[in-house]
Amino acid sequence: MTELEAFIKQDITDKQDTAESPSFRILHNGDSALTVIFDEQVSDGLSLKIIALRKVLKTIFSNKLTDIIPAYQSLTLIFNLDRCSKQDSTPNTLRKVINVQIAGLDTKSIERKSRIVKIPVCYHYDVAPDLESFCKFTKLTLKQVIELHTMPKYRVNMLGFLPGFFYLSGLDKKLYMPRKSTPSLNVEAGSVGIGNNQTGVYPVDSPGGWQIIGKTPTNLFEPTNSTDKFLVNPFDQVQFEPISLKEFTKLVEGDNDSSQKQDAK
Which stretches of the chain bind other proteins, using CB under 8 A? 27-33, 35, 37, 42, 54, 66-76, 78, 80-82, 86, 158-167, 203-204, 206, 221, 223-225, 227, 230, 234
C-alpha–C-alpha distance, residues 153 and 229, integer Å: 21
Task: Give residue 44's region: left, alpha or beta (phi > 0; psi -120 to 50).
Answer: alpha
C-alpha–C-alpha distance, residues 230 and 223, integer Å: 9
Q: Shortest Cβ distance from residue 214 to other proteins (Å)?
A: 21
CB closer to other proteins, 193 vs 234: 234
Cβ contact 199:179 at 8 Å: no
Q: Shortest Cβ distance from residue 212 to other proteins (Å)?
A: 18
CB closer to other proteins, 80 vs 99: 80
CA-nearest of 95, 80, 232, 216 to 154 is 232
Q: Shortest Cβ distance from residue 57 to other proteins (Å)?
A: 12
Q: Shortest Cβ distance from residue 23 to other proteins (Å)?
A: 16
CA-nearest of 176, 210, 217 to 196 is 176
Q: Shortest Cβ distance from residue 243 to other proteins (Å)?
A: 25
For the chain, the first-to-last Cα distance in angstroms comes to: 51
C-alpha–C-alpha distance, residues 255 and 215, integer Å: 15
**Sheet arrangement for strand 33-38:** 24-28, 33-38, 74-79, 65-70
CB closer to other proteins, 131 vs 155: 155
Q: Shortest Cβ distance from residue 181 to other proteins (Å)?
A: 11
The count of other CB atoms within 10 Å of the CB of residue 117 is: 18
CB closer to other proteins, 65 vs 146: 65
CB closer to other proteins, 16 vs 87: 87
